[in-house]
Amino acid sequence: MLAGDGPTARALRIAVGEGARSRPMKDVPMLTLKGARGHNLQSTTAKFPLGRFVCVAGVSGSGKSTLVEKILLRAVREKLKLTTEEPLAHQSIDGWKALKRAVAIDQSPIGRTPRSVPATYVGIWDEIRKLFSLMPEAKKRGWGIGRFSFNTSAESGGGRCETCDGAGVKHVEMAFMADVVVPCEVCAGARFSRETCDVKLHGYDAGEILGLTVEEARQVFSQVAKVKRPLDLLHDLGVGYLALGQGSHTLSGGEAQRIKLATELQTGGGGTLYVLDEPTTGLHVSDVMKLITVMQQLVDRGDSLVVIEHHPSVLRAADWILELGPGGGALGDGSWRRGRRTTSPGGTRPRRRCCGAENARGWAKGLTRTPSAGDHRPARWNSTTTSS
């Protein structure tokens, strides 16, 4: 296996710790969440260094999602006056003024209908429509950019197929089964009317452009920077096989998440807190390394990254690790480990520079938990430890 040339063999030959950075931790500003009490968390205080790659690990039920998604993210968004659900109980949050945005890049769909496609989500379809409107045939017919929108009706000047309303597919209702999705019998999935498809760009009509994969489109638009840059990001994230016009209802959660990452990488860097929940789920080991590279780019440009993750490669690439435990449910929240990864890239074992008092396993208890009345955890977990 290791001697082969396939993606699995190549990934297995990668040195442990590849993708890690050597970022300084001295005097790094902290985002401090105090007194988190949601679900299994019991008056817990956690520190997250800003401008760094932070991983939150721990067994199932230890409170990772509660801490990061239901308290930290919501509390920051609330402070920034952004739309959010109410955060679960906590005492306070400090250090948030250094942030401008707080975003969860999750695996929810980028849209619910076939009209939501990668090309529109990452913002390249508007640029491609402009190019179509500049073609001689389009100018001859007096067509503007709106003609090449599959969401604009003919009455409004659009050139979509009116049979399928630009979706490229039709839903056939079945009496006792789920609806069946079939290609439109008029446009054959092209989304546009026959007249609109008379206009060619680099030898392709609008429907054919949407049918290209990301890899194919990178070649076609190699000289168009505003189009090629997002395509390169999708390629780097390992989704070069997706078609530009592939309906969002056909995308997996991991594919949707990586499309969102590509979109975020096009925004100006700095001042954003990104939260990801187990982004390696379902990824091949070779794609994990691509994901790590892209996540490091977010941090390199000045953003803060908090990732709930268990994958060893991701943990080794992190600047800072928080581990919840030692168990789940009632056994959680009693033993926290916080430390900095100090292994150099290519090292075989991660070492940690720990902060605070050492516990029996050689880790620092990097958070404080105040016992509450009726606390039934073992006595050795009820002591309060102050982190340095």
* Whether residues 68 and 133 fall in one domain: no
Position 329 in a domain: yes
pLDDT band at 38 (very low <50, low <70, confident <90, very high): confident
Bond into 87 cis (ω within 30): no
* 144 in any annotated domain: yes
Predicted confidence (pLDDT) at residue 159 exceeds the cutoff of 50: yes
Q: What does the pLDDT average to over 164-169?
A: 91
In a shared domain, residues 169 and 132: yes
**Claim to verify: residue 306 and residue 343 sit in the same structural domain:** yes
- pLDDT at position 369 over 50: no
Residue recorded with tokens 């997002």: 230
* pLDDT per residue as tens digits for the range 298-329: 999 999 999 999 888 898 899 999 988 776 66
pLDDT range class, residue 286, cuts 50, 70, 90: confident
Domain count along the chain = 2
Distance of CA 241 to the CA centre of its chain: 18
Q: What is the reported pLDDT for 176?
A: 79
4 band by pLDDT with thresholds 50, 70 and 90: low
Strands laid side by side in the 101-104 sheet: 101-104, 272-277, 304-308, 53-58, 320-324, 337-341, 352-354
265, part of any domain: no
Q: What is the mean pLDDT of residues 236-261?
A: 92
Q: How many CB atoms lie within 10 A of CB 16?
A: 15
Which residue's entry shows tokens 């969440």?
33
Structural domain includes residue 344 = yes
Between residues 315 and 330, the one the model is more confident about: 315
pLDDT confidence of residue 350:
37
User: Which of 264, 278, 285 has the alpha carbon at shortest distance from 19?
Assistant: 285
Q: Is position 237 within any domain?
A: yes
93 pLDDT band, cuts 50/70/90, is: very high
Per-residue pLDDT, averaged over 130-138, amounts to: 96
Query: Of all residues in the chain, what percent carry a pLDDT higher than 70?
Result: 79
Does residue 365 form part of some domain? yes
- State whether 122 and 185 are in the same domain: yes
Same-domain check for residues 217 and 283: no
pLDDT attached to residue 54:
95
pLDDT band at residue 255, thresholds of 50, 70 and 90?
A: very high
What Rg do the C-alpha atoms of the chain give, in angstroms? 25
- Kind and range of the H or E run holding 172: strand 169-172
Question: What pLDDT was estimated at residue 256?
Answer: 93
Q: Are residues 91 and 123 in the same domain?
A: no
Residue 112 included in any domain: no
Q: Are residues 148 and 80 in the same domain?
A: no
Structure tokens belonging to residue 64: 């990772």
pLDDT above 50 (res 371): no
290: pLDDT strictly greater than 80: yes
Residues 175 and 280 both lie in one domain = no
HSE toward the beta carbon, residue 199, CA cutoff 13 A: 26
Comparing 66 with 179, the larger pLDDT belongs to 66
Looking at residues 35-49, what average pLDDT do you find? 86
Mean local confidence (pLDDT), 78-87: 93
Domain assignment of residue 166, yes or no: yes
Structural domain of 330:
29-101+273-381
Given this model, what pLDDT does residue 375 score? 43
pTM for this one?
A: 0.78
User: Do residues 293 and 370 both lie within one domain?
Assistant: yes
Assess whether 130 and 82 both reside in one domain.
no
Contacts of 97 (CB under 8 A, 6+ apart): none
Which residue did the predictor score with more confidence, 350 or 327? 327
Which pLDDT value is given to residue 340? 59
**Beta-carbon contacts of residue 216 (< 8 Å; ≥ 6 apart):** none
- Across all residues in the chain, what is the average pLDDT? 81
73-82, 242-251, 319-328 — which is least confidently predicted? Answer: 319-328
CATH of the domain at 348: 3.40.50.300
Identify whether residues 35 and 151 lie together within a single domain.
Answer: no
Mean pLDDT of 292-302: 92
In our burial notation (b when 16+ CB lie closer than 10 A, e otherwise), range 169-193 reads bbeeeeeeeeeeeeebeebebbbbb
Give the DSSP H or E segment for 340: strand 337-341
pLDDT of residue 283: 83
* 341 shares its domain with 280: yes
Contacts of 28 (CB under 8 A, 6+ apart): 49, 50, 51, 52
Nearest to 41 by CA among 367, 383, 388: 367
- Domain CATH number, residue 149: 1.20.1580.10
